[in-house]
Amino acid sequence: MPTMTRSDVQLVGAAGNLDILPPVGFNYEITEIGSSVWVGVPPNAVPQVNVGLFDGVLGPSWFLQSTDIRGWNRRQSLHIDNTNYLRLNNPGGAGANISYAGHVIRAYGAGATRVISDLQTIGAGANMDVLPPAGNEYMVCDVGASIWIGGAPANLPDCTVSIFDGVNAAQFMQGADARGWGKPLELYFNPANYLRLTNTNAAANVLAISGVISRIHGAAPTMVRSDVQVVPVAAVVDFIPAQGEEWRVTDIAADTWVGVAPAALPNVTAQIFDGVIASNVIIPTDNKGWLDPIEILIDQTNYLRLAAAAAVVVGISAVVSRIWRS
């Protein structure tokens, strides 16, 4: 049986590129990027390589840059196919040995790709909506942009990342603040509650996502429980699984943030609530829970309550983790 590993190392000349282009009928996941040359000040130096989504014409839209620490301190999860693939760029003035580690996640032949990675040129203040078709659920695991802001080595993609229900939006990430950009993403969407990227730069920006179809359910019920709700002043909203369901909440969003950029956080408190007493697991004044992967497991007895001191639109990314009802 042939290997499913797609790792490689190649010498890339000054200002040269190495494209990771799967053949037709294959989906890859790239999990690590390296270089023989590192740049920056220890202990925050990173490989001298820029990593972006490219379609052969448009882009690259950068997920990682060698001038900035965003995204390097985690496992990568960059999904590509023959249409939207990765370009690794050596920005240095001399050659470097550029490496990547990855594997085949699907060989589909004459079938359809499960990779939803995409990039689009978005004008100032305009939106890129990632809207699954009926009967499909998406999981988005990274976001990139051709324009980053903030000042090296702390630049971030110049866009907001929101959950949107067609009327209200709540932000998981925004380009002015570090919250969410450094961790692996696991954002679930369906046609009712989907992903919206907004270009917050004054110029056109090539925005990109990396992701996959997490489930094709056809006429069966969706298992995504991502949602957007409006919380009035000094009020709460409860996210309660149906009887016999257990949920994984993988992220929390809000349309208003508090604090000083780049350290602002969503203005909402997340609690575990049993109908009588509550315990705070994430609060808007402290980093705990906001900067690292979130996995809040809930059922109908002990569920998620989001509380706000001011009126705020809140959102969650969530998926059914288990159905045990008979």
Name the CA radius of gyration of the chain, rounded. Answer: 20
Phi, psi of 247 (to 5 degrees): -120, 150
What does the DSSP assignment read for 120-133?
EEE-TT-EEEE-PP
d(CA 138, CA 140): 6
How many folded domains does the chain comprise? 2
Q: Which domain holds residue 13?
A: 1-109
| Lookup: tokens for 233 | 């002043």
Assigned domain for 128 exists? no
Which residue type is seen at 285? T
Q: What is the pLDDT at residue 116?
A: 98
pLDDT, residue 325, reads 72
Torsions phi, psi for 117 (to 5 deg)? -55, 140
Q: Is residue 44 part of a domain?
A: yes
Whether 319 is covered by a domain: the verdict is: yes
Secondary structure (H, E, C), 51-108: EEEECCCCCCEEEECCCCCCCCCCCCCEEECCCCEEEEECCCCCCEEEEEEEEEEEEC
Residues with Cβ within 8 Å of 56's Cβ and at least 6 positions away in sequence, in order, are none
**The predicted structure's pLDDT at residue 283:** 98
309 by Cβ neighbours in 10 Å (0-12 / 13-18 / 19+) ranks as: middle
User: Is 89 part of a structural domain of the chain?
Assistant: yes
- The tens digit of pLDDT for each residue in 20-38 reads 999 999 999 999 999 999 9
Distance CA 140, CA 171 (A): 15
Q: In this predicted structure, what is the pLDDT of residue 326?
A: 58
At 224, list the tokens. 């995504």
**pTM of the complete model:** 0.96
For every residue of 4-43, DSSP letters joined together read -B--EEEEE-TT-EEEE-PPTTEEEEEEEEEES-EESSTT
For 6-45, letters b (16+ CB in 10 Å) and e give beeeeebeeebebebbbeeebbbbbeebbbebeebeeeee
- The pairing of beta strand 50-54 with beta strand 61-64: antiparallel
CB count, 10 Å around CB of 280? 14
Domain boundary among 60, 76, 109: 109
Question: Which residue, chain included where needed, has tokens 């990568």?
Answer: 76
The domain boundary, picked from 40, 75, 109, lies at: 109
The residue length of the chain stands at 326
Q: Are 214 and 139 in contact (CB under 8 A)?
A: yes
Answer whether residue 201 is part of any domain: no
Q: Tell me: the pLDDT tens digits for 85-102?
A: 999 999 999 999 999 999
Amino acid sitting at position 115: V
Residues of the chain with pLDDT under 70: 326
* Collapsed DSSP state (helix, strand, coil) of residue 46: strand
How far is it, in rounded angstroms, from Cα 257 to Cα 53? Answer: 29
Structure tokens at 113: 């790709």
- Report if residue 246 sits inside a domain: yes
Tokens read off for 138: 């998406």
Q: What is the pLDDT of residue 2?
A: 83
Q: Which of 109, 144, 174 is the last residue of a domain?
A: 109
CA distance 163 to 305: 18
Residue 278 covered by a domain: yes
Q: Is residue 148 a part of any domain in this protein?
A: no
Q: What is the pLDDT of residue 108?
A: 95
- CATH number of the domain encompassing residue 240: 2.60.120
